[in-house]
Each structure stands twice: as C-alpha cells, then as structure tokens.
Amino acid sequence: MRSRLPAATLTAAILLALSGQALAITVDGKIDPAEWQGAQHITDFRITQPLTGAPGSQVTEAWVLATPEGLAIGFRNVQPASIPRNRQKIRRDEQAQVDRNNLMIDFDGDGRTGYNFMVTSTDGINDAVITNENRFSTDWDGNWQHAASEDETGWYSEMLIPWYIAPMAKGKDGKRTFRIYLDRVIGSTGERSAWPAASFERPRFLSDFTPIELPVYNQALIAITPYVSGLYDNIAKDNNFDAGADIFWKPNGQFQLTATLNPDFGQVESDDIVVNFGANETFFSDKRPFFTENQGPFEFTTPSDFSQLVYTRRVGGNADDGSGAGDITAAVKANGSFGATKYGVLIADEADEAGRTFSALRLSHDFAKQNVGMMVTQVDRPYYDRTATVVGFDQNWRPNQKWNIQNRLIFSDIDEGALGSRDLGRAGKGDGFTTIIDYEMDHGWRQQLLGMHFSGDLQINDFGFLSRPNLNYLHYEVKKRITDLPKDSRYSSKDWRGRVSATYNDHGLNLSEQFRLSRQDQFKNGGSGYQQINVNSFGYDDRVLRGNGILRIPPNFNAFIERSRPRKGDWEFYGNFGLSNYGIGDESNERRVGWNTQFQPTYYINDSFSVYTILFAESTPQWVVWQGENLVGSFDEHAQQLDFGVNWNIGNQHEIRVKMQALGLDADLRQAYRASADGTPVPTDDPVQDFSLSNLGFQVRYRWEFKPLSYFYVVYGRGGDLFNEYSQRSQDALTDAFSLRDDEQLVVKLSYRFEL
C-alpha cells in the first residue's frame, strides 16, 4: 500500500484557478450549492487511522473556496443511523473522541508552521499551532467562524478562516500558494479519513500537505483587548485590582505586530499538582494570549523532552530576588516575511530592580527541499549581574518522500560580573547538537536514528527550557505498522517499535543503556492501547547528588500498559498500570518491584454535563531522595491521589468547570546511603527522617465568551501543601489534604476585544 500520491499528481489535481467571483459564504453549517459555486470539490478521502490508504468507509465531501472575507471550507459527512453519532459538547480545545472535521493549513507552504481548525458535529471547536512536522499546541486561540448542523443522512460543518489569522506569503501574479489538509473522524469507531492521505503518525506530516493555489486576498486588522481583574485573598484579607491590554495589528499578510501592557499572569488557569523531588525542572505550558498568539515562528525545539530556546513561562516567572512573580511592564512581538525569508522579534521587560529583559530574534528561509533558520536569545538579569546569550541554528531537510532529517546546533555564552550567582550556572560557553533521521520504507516499516549532545557548560534556561545539559544520547529504532488484520479482529491496527539506546554524560560516564519494546494499538470501537517495557543496564545518576558526586544504579526494568475506551452510552474509561524495580541498596532491595496505577471513569449526565474522577495509587519500595552533600535516603514510598471534576458546557458560550486534586504521600526510610567516590552506595547511620506530604488544589471556574475572544471569568480557588517530618499512612495524608487552606482566592476578570 502506498498512501502518498506523487507530488506532481496531487498538485495537478488540485491547483485552483478561482476567479475571485465567489459569493459571500453564510457560515451556518448548511451546505447551500449556490453559495459554493466555483469551489474546489474534494471527494477522495482516504483512511489514515488506521493508516491503510483505503477509501473512507463513509462518504465525505469537502469544498474549498477563497472569498474576500477569508478561506471558506465546507464538509458533508454521510453518517447513516447504523453508525452512532456522538453529540457530546466539548469545551474549547478539549481532546475528545467525537465526530469532527479538521482543516489544517500551512499558509506559507514551507512545512515550518501550520494551523489546525477543528469543528465537531455539535459546533465545538479546537484550534492549534503545528510545528516540527507533527507537534500540536492548543495554547493558541484564533478568531474564526464556524457552524455545524445535521439531518437524517449525516452532518455538516462550515468554517471561514479570515486572512488576518496568521502571517502568509505575499503571493505572485495575483496568486498565493498554501498547503492544505482536510479530514473527518467518526467518533464511534475512531476512523479518520483524510485528503491528502497524510498522517501525523509519520515523521513527515506538515510537509505532506497538498499545494493549493488561491487568489490573493488581504485583510488588515487592529484588535485591542483590554482587561480588568479583581482578586480577593481570603487568607491575607487583601484586595488587588489590575488592568492591562493586548494589542494586535496586522496591516497585511507580510507583517504582524503584537504587544501587551501589564499582562495577566493567568490566575484563571490552574496547573496540575506536581510532586518533584528530582533535580530536573517541571515543564508547564503557557495560556497567556500574548505569548500564544503567533508563537509558532519562535519554535526551536530539540528531541530532549520539552526543550526549547524560548520558554515563555520564564517571562513573569519567579523574580530573581525571590519576591514572587516578576512584574511584566510591557512586551512586543513582530513577525513578517520578505519573500521566502521569515523573521520574528520578541522583547519583554519586567519592572523593579529584580526585573529582567528578555529578547529573541528569529530568522528562517525556505528552499525547495529544506528550510534553515537561526534564533538568537538574550536575557539581561541585573540582579545577578548576568547576561545570557544563546544562538541556535536549525535545518529541516526532506530530500525525498522517504527521508526526513532534522538538525539543531546550539551555542550559549554566559557573562557574569562580581554579583554573579553560581546557583544559576557559572559563566562560560557551551554547545549542543541534535539530529533526527527518519527513513520510511515500504510495507509499514520505518527506521529512526536519533542523536543528542549537550555539553556540561550549555545553559539555555535563562529564557529556554532544557531538562539537563551534560548529555550524550543515541538511539536506533525500527518500527512496523500492521493494518491488514482479520476482519473479525477487535484491532484496526498495531504499531510495533523496538529501540536500543545509550546515554552517557559529556565526561563519558555511562548513565544508562536500554532496550525498549512497545506497541501502540487502535481498536475498532474507537479506543486505543499502549504497552511498553524497558530493560536498563547498570548506570550512574550524576544529577541526584546536585554536584556532590555520582550514584551507581543497578540494572533495572520498568513496564507500562494503558487502555482507553471512548464514550459508549453514558460512560468513558481510561486506565493504566506500571511496574518498576528501579532503586539502590542490597540485593534484596534491588529486586523489589514497585507499582503504580490510575483509573479514570467519566460519567455523562447528558451531552453537555459530565463528571469524572481519577484514582491514582503507587508503591515505590526504593524511592531515592537526596538529603544533602553525598547523602541519599532510600524510602518505602506510598502515594494516593484523588481527582474530581465537573464539566458543564452550557451552549457554546458558557462553561462551568470544577477541578479538585488531592494528594497524600508517605515515605518510610529503609536505609540511608552515602555515595563513595566511584558512585557505590554505602549504608550509613546518618540520621534521615521519614516524611509525609499532603497537597490540595481546588478551583471552580465560570467562563462566559460573550463575543469571540472576549471573556468574563469568575474563579474561586483554594489549595495548599503540608510537609511533615514524620511518616503517616498515605490515606491519612490524603485526608489531611482536604483541610489545607494556605491559599484561598476569588478572582473576577473581564476582557473585551475591540476590532477596528
């Protein structure tokens, strides 16, 4: 099976010569033939989940039409009564297994940044930015029109994407070339049929979109979104009022300016509870409108977890003097293009003596089979007398349909004066390099070679995010996708992966060598499954002692399995289970196996109202926690977490959300160890305390979107954490969490978007 048509055939099939005489489209979710006269009519939808390339099991039609108001897309989705329809209402950007259509566009046609617009059969929406071929981020929210309707034969959707939604190339001779992708998902089975037959399960996705030539239309826009907010702190008995504004200006398709004055740090969004006793930082996404608007051009990532050169949560994050969140006075971002060269500039400034100044410059250029780019970031931190400069170069090369190669080269230069802080990393220069080579063979076979090098002196975390420097990593992976399964099989596809990898630090110390075997399953009922087992050689942990030596880790394994079943009737289920014998100590301790499990049922009272709970428990017999210097404790740890939530989508404008997370953890000391010079853990009688931990996060949020991108919020939040230097049962620690009240706040926020 070949699901990719030759590029020339695709291009010839859908290059349009639209005359610009199109009537205006009324976006009502009803396909009126008179409105869609002159549109490109698309019917060749091929199944991409599972990735068979066969024609879709149900008829799907789409129409594409350029109008002065924007790019219009219409879908007709045939769905007889024999195929259940999922009429569940979703909140914006919710990931749910429902009947839906997707439009994805690469406005510049260079395979670097795309935009995803999704409409469900109940007119719920999701919008996202696509980078690195197949990486989706739903943090961005755009202003576009959408509608859906249904009848006895099926359902319909319409979208109108305004020309000011994103930067785009200028065009030539009155024509502009985009790359486009359309798909339809049947919620009850999980079948996805797409045109063209591209798949985000492949290394190449964005660059496999089909070229489409459209008349040049331009729209100018000035949008100002001021906000006012009031916060009442019931613990401090204090009030706080704030105001600010976001400004968006796009005079044409080749330039876009975004600015913010005193941006809200996001009190209406809540992060999940995270317990992190490790040396590596936890990554959090950013929901602030200024930092999500047109952020795609600033994407510069590597394969190392969430690593990136611009991590916007740094701006307005913890101030350098430890006084709380940094106070952002203003920030500005400009994006544009000159022909095939695109640029972006970002500057943000914080107030007060502990304030920082962040700046970034992005350049990229598109060639026929590759694009190359450069990014420079700099952070001025006067409180520490520190200036951090990072320069990165990236290349995405697609020599043919089978090969996809991505390279990244990074340099850092840290300058510190007499006030410099060693806690941030010493002054000096560092470097890093990553490469991913993907090769897609025939009959479902693929290969991947991935390599990373980060020197010990590489420092990008003043503005970026890197979980750890001082790393050399190499893996080889072979994959096999199986779709020709028996008709009576409950599986629609199986995807096997085998991997061998080696991880060393930059001094040649063996951190781990691993063999991994995994399988991703798709079921005919729309569910999915995943199984994975890792077998690790002995190695060393060079991070746990925070620079006070290394710790030898015996050979170990871990295994994981998860299953999800989408909504059937009133219920939806998800569950997982894992095993691991990671740890240190004597032979008896090394062989003890820990476990963790999670179960999440969701009950739908109706299509708009659902409640869920998450039950989590774990037992870790050899949990290694640093105590100071070269001393660690090996604890018998138990944890329980209870989550509860309510989602009520009142129409498409009102939303009530309740979210509660409570955690109880206990850790009984099994043995204290000091690491010898060669990393061997040596038992010691140094006093190390048992401990327990309780955490609570609770939020009730009402949101009213009274016009596009204009919101009224009322948010009540409460939470806290309690650390005890004694052990108690995790059940008791969980019970104690419900009485925590370190924080209790009521926030009211109003934002209104004016478009000029």
Residue 264: band (very low, low, confident or very high) from pLDDT cuts 50, 70, 90: confident
For residue 4, what is the DSSP state?
P
Measured distance CA(467)–CA(303) in Å, rounded? 11
Q: Could you tell me which of 53, 99, 54 has the C-alpha nearest to residue 76? A: 99
How confident is the model over 367-404, as pLDDT tens digits? 888 999 999 999 999 999 999 999 999 999 999 989 99
Res. 1: pLDDT tops 60: no
How confident is the model over 124-179, as pLDDT tens digits? 999 999 988 999 988 888 999 999 999 999 999 999 999 999 888 888 888 999 99
Is residue 754 packed enough to be buried (19+ CB in 10 Å), middle (13-18) or exposed (0-12)? exposed
Q: What residues are paired with 553 via a beta bridge?
A: 539
CB 639 within 8 A of CB 730: yes
Res. 255: pLDDT tops 50: yes
How confident is the model over 709-726, as pLDDT tens digits? 999 999 999 999 999 998
Output the CA torsion sign for 307, 320, 313, 237: positive
What domains, with CATH codes, occur in the chain?
7-216 (2.60.40.1190), 569-756 (no CATH)
CA dist 207 → 100, 105, 137 (Å):
23, 11, 17
How confident is the model over 462-507, as pLDDT tens digits? 999 999 999 999 999 999 999 999 999 999 999 999 999 999 999 9
Residue % of the chain over a pLDDT of 90: 77
Half-sphere exposure of 461 (CA within 13 A, CB side): 17
Query: Can you give the pLDDT at residue 139?
Result: 85
Measured distance CA(362)–CA(343) in Å, rounded? 5
> Is the peptide bond between 196 and the residue preceding it cis, with omega within 30 degrees of 0?
yes
Query: Can you give the pLDDT at residue 590?
Result: 56
How confident is the model over 666-715, as pLDDT tens digits? 999 999 999 999 999 999 999 999 999 999 999 999 999 999 999 999 99
Of 35-44, 106-115, 186-195, the one with minimum mean pLDDT is: 106-115
Measured distance CA(640)–CA(598) in Å, rounded? 10
pTM of the entire predicted model: 0.89
Query: Can you give the pLDDT at residue 421?
Result: 62
Q: What residues are paired with 344 via a beta bridge?
A: 335, 362
CA dist 332 → 367, 524, 578, 710, 747 (Å):
29, 48, 45, 21, 26
Is residue 647 packed enough to be buried (19+ CB in 10 Å), middle (13-18) or exposed (0-12)? buried
Res. 30: pLDDT tops 50: yes
Output the CA torsion sign for 502, 503, 506, 510: negative
Query: Can you give the pLDDT at residue 185?
Result: 97
- Residue ranges of E strands in 59-174: 60-67, 70-78, 100-106, 113-120, 125-131, 135-137, 145-150, 154-161
